[in-house]
Structure 1
Amino acid sequence: MRLDKFLCKSTELIKEEAIQCIHAGEVLVNGEVAQNEAMQVHENNVISLNGATLKTRDFRYILLNKPAETVCSNIDEVYPSLFHYLEVEKVSELHIAGRLDADTTGLVLITDDGRWSFNITSPQKACCKVYRVGLSRALTTDKANEITEKFAKGLQLQGEETLTLPAKLEIISPKEVLLTITEGRFHQVKRMFARVGNRVVSLHREQIGAVCLDVDVGQWRYLTKEEILSFGK
């Protein structure tokens, strides 16, 4: 972790203030003055500010039920940021482990632990994400079987060289399905159904790994220790 980030995570300083303290020689790392804000520090380093030993705050792991017409960004864009729903300090330090489009609803996981979120977003980790998908065209039994087989084998999406990773399709009704994928390409679910001649009219994420959505729209909670560890540390 960068030294300036360590100061922000262990004090109430913002980045600019942390850098000022570092340049002023007020920060010691293992007893020596450190004046490079980009210096990498680790858990076993002893870091102090004006004589007070610092310890980073615990990482935060949050589940939120994303409403439609919000963006997975720390700032407002065309639509407002979903971070407005969180009542926590240091919101700027948080990021989303697997973003959703503005019109997509459901489960998002929010954290300030980059290593942990990598276990969720990296295709190599094969973390399952389950989406409830509403379709514009009803699926016949034959068509449903055909699409299920294609998704299981992988699809060639427009503009991409590699096939999608195997995905699981479960038919709920002719116009509603559950889709489980282990990657997060740009507009992936919508593009997958477009590739087989259908259109997504609603998209809602219900589950990531072993964590299921269990709060109302716009509500949030901290993950349990068991849920956090289920993604690896």
Structure 2
Amino acid sequence: MKLVKLIANLGYGSRKDVTMMFREGRITDPDGEVLYADDKVPHEHIRIDDEPLDPPAGLALMMNKPLGATCSRKDQGRVVYDLLPPRYRLRDPALSTVGRLDRDTSGLLLFTDDGALLHRIISPRAQVAKVYEATLAQDLRGDEGELFASGTMMLEAEKEPLEPAALEVLGPRQARLTLTEGRYHQVRRMFAAVGNHVETLTRISVGGLVLGDLAPGQWRALQAEEVAQIFAGPAPR
């Protein structure tokens, strides 16, 4: 792929904009030597204004989604894409969230521009486990774990029972729940079905990939081995 198209596809501007960047000498190699549009250089050797070029297509990111941000591109309020560099909205192929977390849920959110990877993660066949920690309005009554694990629990307006889910009690009003599916507001609806209310909810892992020490709103690109961890099963606790 020609450098002009490559850089434009990464969201740095139109092809006309990128052509002007070449003319202005803003695109260089690591030693500061000016590059030209027909040069053939490895991706990792390209600099724009002395900064490394963004990762190529096939990008995967993880973010600690903060409360109050939504995963929609069109929401009039704060959206998760606002936390990324503006040019990330212009990448081609487009960068999308892998599933969603609602406005009042925080924690591990994945992004990718790789459609095959996205579908592999969210496919019911993959059985990728998502782990959430919840603070509840009332004490747990004691039978939730058995019910959630039964594979027979029905939610209101649903036609199929939920897949078995694992509940770990962390305190009288704190629980960790592991799901292998992602129905609409599932964790909140499960606790509502047993007469409780989720006050705070955080996703702490997807498969074997753990949120770690990212602060709310922070994000970083994933390495190939980290993407592989997603399919390696839940991380040990």
| Range of TM-score over shorter length | 0.7 to 0.9
RMSD between aligned alpha carbons?
Answer: 2.6
Give the conservation status (yes or no) of the 8 Å contact 1:119–1:231.
Answer: no
- Work out which of the residue numbers 199, 207, 210 in structure 1 matches 2:208: 210
Give the conservation status (yes or no) of the 8 Å contact 1:131–1:207.
Answer: yes
Q: TM-score normalized by structure 2?
A: 0.71
**Moved segments of 4+, more than 4 Å:** none
Mapped partners of 2:130, 2:79: distance in 1: 22
Report what 2:110 is aligned to.
109
Cα deviation code 1:19-71 (max 9, x no counterpart): xxxxxxxxxxxxxxxxxxxxxxxxxxxxxxxx999x99431100000111110
SS at match of 1:184: coil
Q: CA deviation at 1:11?
A: 5.7
SS at match of 2:100: coil
Cα deviation code 1:84-121 (max 9, x no counterpart): 11126342411111200001101100110111111221
Q: TM-score normalized by structure 1?
A: 0.72
Structure 1: gaps (5+ residues)? 1-8, 19-50
Report what 1:73 is aligned to.
72
SS at match of 2:192: helix
- Work out which of the residue numbers 155, 158, 171 in structure 2 matches 1:157: 155
SS at match of 1:230: helix
Give the conservation status (yes or no) of the 8 Å contact 1:147–1:196.
Answer: yes
Give the conservation status (yes or no) of the 8 Å contact 1:133–1:202.
Answer: yes
Mapped partners of 2:145, 2:56: distance in 1: 46
SS at match of 1:133: strand
Mapped partners of 1:74, 1:94: distance in 2: 11
Structure 2: gaps (5+ residues)? 16-37, 44-54, 232-237
Is 2:181 the partner of 1:183?
Answer: yes
SS at match of 2:117: helix
Mapped partners of 1:229, 1:131: distance in 2: 20
Is 2:8 the partner of 1:12?
Answer: yes
What is the percentage of aligned positions where both structures have the same residue?
Answer: 38
